[in-house]
A and B are shown apart, each in its own frame.
Chain A
Amino acid sequence: MKNTPKKRKSRLVETEDGRLLIKSPMAYVYLLLPMAFLCLFVLFPTVMAGRMAFFQKYNFMKSLGTGFGTNAFEYVLHDKVFWQAAKNTGILMAVALPATVALSLMFALLINAIKRLKGMFQALFFLPYVTSSIAIGAAFQWLFHSEYGYFNWFIGLFGAAPQKWLTDSSCVIWALCIFCIWNGLAYKIVLFLAGLQKIDKEVYKAAKIDGTSPWRTTVKITLPLLAPTTWMVSMMSMIYTAKTYNEVYSLFTSYGGGGSAGPGNNAITLVYYIYYQFYERQKVNYAAAAAIIFLAVILLLTTIQRLVAKKFVQYV
């Protein structure tokens, strides 16, 4: 069977694991369209962003850039708004990210542990995934309203003073965190549930025969076996959180004016900063410089993940 010449150009080769592969340049024809689109809309823009970031001047009307220099990077790195964006994105990663992962893990474990209504709870908890954050953001905007919002009414029940969630510069980031936690739960719960289903049921049977308590089983068996999933979910949400944009837009734009994220751009995130420089201020080179910095951060995070995963996480 090996290397049997077939018809004209195409012939078959067998791989080590016994699959047959077609050896033919027709593959390029199949790849032509997807490749063309990837080149035009992903690779080319990435390269161009790299180029634009080093323009010294950029004329938006003529979409023409001139010169080569690092002044866009200098501007961005000295821009207070950029550091505000970096700080907010950092807070989201330090607060909202662990909170969503922990909460979604808890709910997934609970859903996995019950016998009746499992499907119903799973369906309920996943609904926010399919609903647009712009539409839900409109609801959160009113729930956070300083005078009429139910959120202030609710914390008032515990004696807390009402806050200006969307306009007070020290509160905006916490309003954003709450919305992001709420918005991120659904997806992670489903990923955790999928991970839980992959754990071998025999392990639980053994634990039951030994008379291990359910709590101990969870801590000593389920969680360690779930570690690869937990790791994968945390890493995916890290990238996802770094990209937070829709949530900011829907909560804050109407409070900022001029397309800024809340009063004085206090709720801005890195991706919002790119959008803000590009679309609202039409400073393409600044936007590109910020985007390149953002890409570098993402690549750095991914590389660290890979290295750490290789060392510590054992995939089962």
Chain B
Amino acid sequence: MPRIHEKRVIDTKQIVSDIIKYALLTIGALILFFPFLWMLTTSLKTLSEAIATPPVWLPRAPQWVNYAVVWNMKPFMRYIMNTVICCICHVAGVVVFSVLGAYAFSMYSFRFKGFFFTLFMLTMMVPGELLIIQNYITIQKMHLMDTYIAVFLPTLASGFYIYMLREHFMQMPPSLFKSAKVDGTSNWRFLWRVMVPMNRNTIFTIAILSFIGQWNAFLWPELVTRTDATKLVSSGLIAFRSEASSNVQYMMAGSCIVLIPMIVFYAVFNKQIINGVGGGGIKG
């Protein structure tokens, strides 16, 4: 009898604490989400609704025409295409370089290995902001200013991703390599036929994280892109901002256009993104 009684007390306590937890989480989610919701609703308002005080939360009739106006004010399609192209090149480069670097550091023994590895790790400590000065001059001297190559070239080799992938390569069972050697597989073949396929999850994570990084990159792309032909979405949005000036509803429609592809990407890959960031962060 006393045991049953005790259980009931705990249950009510449990329910109350659950309610508090969900309430706090919902409030947090609302605060975190408010800018997104405001952005979306404002992009569909008229100007007078957008700047009304007290606030008009929802447009009386959604002004889809805002999107049409904005789409014609700046070449957003071009910006998105530019960003996609740069992202794909960036991701391809990062993945290939990380695989090569990680393989050398995990499977080979060579002179100065420790020195090279330390050098790679040290590059993680240098803030990218320090590098823009000389890289800008280098890109200018290579006559690459205002090209796609200029956008993704300097960030292709990443000490962090090499480190992350090396950790996973080193966890492969040694028997795998031994049996491959018995079969006479070459080292190069072993890398691409065994190591890469077996670590495809990690490689996929690296691809997704570097994709997000490049999509949202701002400072460097803003410095090396001058014309609409090469501008990425974030720079394009900044350029658009001065044209939209005080038309807040256009401004928000423009921002939504930039955000929507990334939100769709997130909706598709959110498991991998969350696992990748969680796992990668702990190791870094």
List chain B residues, Cβ under 8 A from A124.
29, 32-33
Q: Known: A122-B274, A132-B233. Contact between A41 and B131, CB under 8 A?
A: yes
Q: Does A195 contact B (CB under 8 A)?
A: yes
Q: Shortest CB–CB separation between residue B265 and chain A, in angstroms?
A: 7
CA distance A278 to B136 in the complex (A): 10
Whether A271 contacts B134 by the Cβ 8 Å rule is: no
Q: Does B1 contact A (CB under 8 A)?
A: no
Whether B138 contacts A40 by the Cβ 8 Å rule is: yes
CA distance A245 to B31 in the complex (A): 23
Kindly specify which of A42-50, A85-93, A166-174 makes contact with the partner chain: A42-50
Within 8 A of B (CB), among A96-115: 103, 106-107, 110-111, 113-114
Q: Known: A13-B109, A19-B170, A135-B234. Contact between A107 and B25, CB under 8 A?
A: yes
Whether B237 contacts A30 by the Cβ 8 Å rule is: no
Q: Does A24 contact B (CB under 8 A)?
A: yes
Q: Does B198 contact A (CB under 8 A)?
A: no
Q: Shortest CB–CB separation between residue B70 and chain A, in angstroms?
A: 12
Interface of A is mostly: helix
Kindly specify which of A66-74, A75-83, A140-148, A199-207 makes contact with the partner chain: A140-148
State which of A40, A123, A187 has its C-beta within 8 Å of the C-beta of B270. A123
List chain B residues, Cβ under 8 A from A10.
187
Digitize B13-48: 1 where CB-to-A-CB distance is under 8 Å, 0 elsewhere: 000011001101100110111011011001000000
List chain A residues, Cβ under 8 A from B4.
none
Q: Does A94 contact B (CB under 8 A)?
A: no
Whether A132 contacts B119 by the Cβ 8 Å rule is: no
Whether A23 contacts B108 by the Cβ 8 Å rule is: yes
Q: Does B61 contact A (CB under 8 A)?
A: no
Whether B273 contacts A135 by the Cβ 8 Å rule is: no
Q: Shortest CB–CB separation between residue B229 and chain A, in angstroms?
A: 20
CA distance A23 to B111 in the complex (A): 9
List chain B residues, Cβ under 8 A from A150.
38, 55
A-B contact count (CB 8 A): 288
Within 8 A of A (CB), among B242-256: 242, 248, 251-252, 254-255
Assign chain A's interface to a size class. 35 or more
Q: Known: A49-B133, A110-B24, A138-B252. Contact between A20 and B281, CB under 8 A?
A: no
Interface of B is mostly: helix
Q: Does A275 contact B (CB under 8 A)?
A: yes
Whether B129 contacts A19 by the Cβ 8 Å rule is: no
Whether A132 contacts B258 by the Cβ 8 Å rule is: yes
State which of B108, B132, B265 has its C-beta within 8 Å of the C-beta of A24. B108
List chain B residues, Cβ under 8 A from A125.
28-29, 32
Assign chain B's interface to a size class. 35 or more
Whether B218 contacts A134 by the Cβ 8 Å rule is: yes
Q: Known: A111-B25, A114-B21, A191-B281. Contact between A294 and B108, CB under 8 A?
A: no
Digitize B199-224: 1 where CB-to-A-CB distance is under 8 Å, 0 elsewhere: 00000000000001001101100010
CA distance A298 to B124 in the complex (A): 12
Q: Does A236 contact B (CB under 8 A)?
A: yes
Whether A110 contacts B25 by the Cβ 8 Å rule is: yes
Whether A121 contacts B29 by the Cβ 8 Å rule is: yes
Q: Does B153 contact A (CB under 8 A)?
A: yes
List chain A residues, Cβ under 8 A from B181.
6, 12, 20
List chain A residues, Cβ under 8 A from B278.
190-191, 193-194, 197
List chain B residues, Cβ under 8 A from A249.
218-219, 238
Q: Does A316 contact B (CB under 8 A)?
A: no
Q: Can you name 12 extra interface pairs (CB under 8 A) apart from A130-B212, A295-B130?
A: A22-B107, A31-B101, A37-B154, A48-B133, A107-B25, A117-B22, A121-B29, A132-B234, A139-B36, A185-B32, A249-B219, A291-B133
